[in-house]
Amino acid sequence: MKKYLAEFFGTFWLVFGGCGSAVLAAAFPELGIGFAGVALAFGLTVLTMAYAVGHVSGAHFNPAVSFGMAAAGRMPWGNLPGYVIAQVVGGIAGAAVLYLIASGKVGFEAGGFASNGFGEHSPGGYALSSVVACEVVMTAMFLVVILGTTHKNAPAGFAPLAIGLCLTLIHLVSIPVSNTSVNPARSTAAALFAEPWAMQQLWIFWIAPIAGGVLGAIIHRMISED
């Protein structure tokens, strides 16, 4: 149960901090955080919570990561449902608190609420094919970094830093394409509070990241010393 609680609070922080930077801070150009600030915020949420609770649950905070860890043999498949449920519920709780805060502003409209999308709902107007390719490749590389830096032969204590920076890099590249998911729990949490189109397009932000997570596990097993 402690593992699931750690995943709950870690995903809560990821959604609240990452999406919060987009909904609250990036909405004001004078603050100057832009895409780069949002990307950094997502990386910092994972970095900080990986150090805080990584020793408890492994710090997945992401169903795609959990699928990848199971596929790589780092976690029993039997633990997967509990991890995914904890992550989704934690993400929804983070989005709910964010919505409560954001809705206190006069004239508030949820709009996209930091949701992910393709076509006309992609920040850069990218088609479904581009979004799928981006999400699969980005999630696969994320898993390669996670599995590599947490390997028994990797330098100890640096994994959260590398993983957080990797997630920052992923967002810097892919925010214009899909508003960056690579995380079905994060996508679900935001979509629940956004306009209806977000839920209609949510399916791709489950399929593509999970496919990418498993692909990353396969790549790791091909190149790992194990």
pLDDT at 141: 97
- Check whether 71 has a pLDDT greater than 80: yes
Tokens of 114: 């930091």
**Pairwise CA distance, residues 59 & 47, whole Å:** 9
Residue 86 — very low, low, confident or very high, per pLDDT cuts 50/70/90? very high
Per cent of the chain over pLDDT 70 is 97
Give the mean model confidence (pLDDT) for residues 197-203: 97
Q: Which residue has the higher pLDDT, 213 or 30?
A: 213
Per-residue tokens: 188: 């679900």
Q: Is the pLDDT of residue 4 over 90?
A: yes
The amino acid occupying position 72 is A
Q: Per-residue DSSP letters for 123-161?
A: TT---HHHHHHHHHHHHHHHHHHHHHHTSTTSPTT-HHH
Q: What is the pLDDT of residue 30?
A: 67
Question: What average pLDDT does the structure give for the chain?
Answer: 94
Each residue of 140-188: pLDDT tens digit? 999 999 999 999 888 878 999 999 999 999 999 999 999 999 999 999 9
pLDDT at 166: 97
For the residues 48-70, what does the mean pLDDT come to? Answer: 96
Higher pLDDT among residues 59 and 32, named by residue = 59
What pTM, to 2 d.p., does this model score?
A: 0.94
Domain 2-223 has CATH 3.90.600.10: no
Dump pLDDT digits (tens) for 5-48. 999 999 999 999 999 999 998 767 666 688 899 999 999 999 99
For 29-97, the DSSP string reads: GGG--HHHHHHHHHHHHHHHHHHHHHHHH----SHHHHHHHHHTTSS-GGGHHHHHHHHHHHHHHHHHH
Rounded average pLDDT over 115-129? 96
* Overall average pLDDT of the 60-82 stretch: 96
Domain range summary for the chain, segments of one domain joined by +: 2-223
